[in-house]
Amino acid sequence: MQEYPDIEDHGLTGDLQTAVLVTCDGTVDWFCAPRFDSPSIFAALLDRRRGGYFRISPDGINYQSKQLYMPDSPILITRFISPDGVAEIIDFMPVAGDRPTDQHRLVRMINMVRGSMPFRLECRPRFNYGRDRHDLERQREGIIFRSPSMTFTLSPIQQARWLIPEQDFREEDDDLLVFTTLHEGDKGGMVLETAPTQAPRVIPADEVQALFEQTLAYWRRWLERSRYRGRWREMVERSAITLKLLTYAPTGATIAAPTASLPERIGGTRNWDYRYTWIRDAAFSMNALLGLGFTEETDRYMDWIAARICEGDGDSVPLKIMYRVDGSSDLPEEILDHFEGYRGSAPVRIGNGAANQSQLDIQGEALYAMHLAGEHGIRAFHQTWQSTVKLIDWLCHNWDNPDAGIWESRSHPRNYTYSRVMSWVAVDRAIRLATATGRPGDTACWIRQRNAIYDQVMERGYHPGRRSFVQSYGEEFLDASLLNLPTVGFVAAYDPIWLSTLRAIDETLVSDSLVYRYNPTVNPDGLPGDEGTFNMCTFWYAEALARSGRLDEARLTLEKMFTFSSHLGLYAEEIAPTGKQTGNFPQALSHLALINAAITIDNLLQHRSPYYQRRV
Query: Which one of 177, 199, 221 terminates a domain?
Result: 199
Number of compact structural domains in the chain: 2
Q: Are residues 574 and 455 in the same domain?
A: yes
For 350, the 3-state DSSP assignment is strand
CATH of residue 323's domain is 1.50.10.10
The pLDDT assigned to 612 comes to: 37
Does a structural domain hold residue 343? Answer: yes
Q: Are residues 404 and 272 in the same domain?
A: yes
Q: Are residues 556 and 482 in the same domain?
A: yes
Q: Are residues 539 and 427 in the same domain?
A: yes
Q: Are residues 473 and 611 in the same domain?
A: yes
The length of the chain is 616
Q: Are residues 456 and 533 in the same domain?
A: yes
Does a structural domain hold residue 281? Answer: yes
Does a structural domain hold residue 77? Answer: yes
Could you list the beta-strand ranges (E) of 291-345: 322-323, 334-335
The pLDDT assigned to 519 comes to: 80
Distance in angstroms (rounded) separating the CA atoms of residues 34 and 18: 7
Distance in angstroms (rounded) separating the CA atoms of residues 523 and 37: 32
Q: Are residues 184 and 278 in the same domain?
A: no
Query: Which one of 149, 180, 199 terminates a domain?
Result: 199
The pLDDT assigned to 296 comes to: 87
Q: Are residues 342 and 438 in the same domain?
A: yes
Distance in angstroms (rounded) separating the CA atoms of residues 390 and 319: 11
The pLDDT assigned to 158 comes to: 83
Does a structural domain hold residue 210? Answer: no
Q: Are residues 281 and 392 in the same domain?
A: yes
Does a structural domain hold residue 2? Answer: no
The pLDDT assigned to 166 comes to: 52
Q: Are residues 338 and 413 in the same domain?
A: yes
Does a structural domain hold residue 321? Answer: yes
Query: Which one of 178, 199, 220 terminates a domain?
Result: 199
Does a structural domain hold residue 204? Answer: no
Distance in angstroms (rounded) separating the CA atoms of residues 598 and 616: 15
The pLDDT assigned to 414 comes to: 93
Q: Classify the C-alpha dihedral 467-446-409-365 as positive or negative.
A: negative
Q: How many CA atoms lie within 13 A of 144 on its CB side?
A: 16
The pLDDT assigned to 164 comes to: 44
The pLDDT assigned to 48 comes to: 96
The pLDDT assigned to 613 comes to: 39
Flag residues of the chain having pLDDT under 50.
162-165, 609-616
Report the DSSP pairing between strands 462-463 and 468-469. antiparallel
Q: Are residues 192 and 245 in the same domain?
A: no
Instruction: Single out the residue of 338, 312, 453, 344 nearest to residue 396, CA to CA.
Output: 453
Contact residues for 386 (Cβ-Cβ < 8 A; gap 6+): none
Q: Are residues 469 and 416 in the same domain?
A: yes
The pLDDT assigned to 282 comes to: 81
Does a structural domain hold residue 243? Answer: yes
Domain span at 419: 232-615
CATH of residue 163's domain is 2.70.98.10
Distance in angstroms (rounded) separating the CA atoms of residues 607 and 604: 5
Strand partners, 53: 124
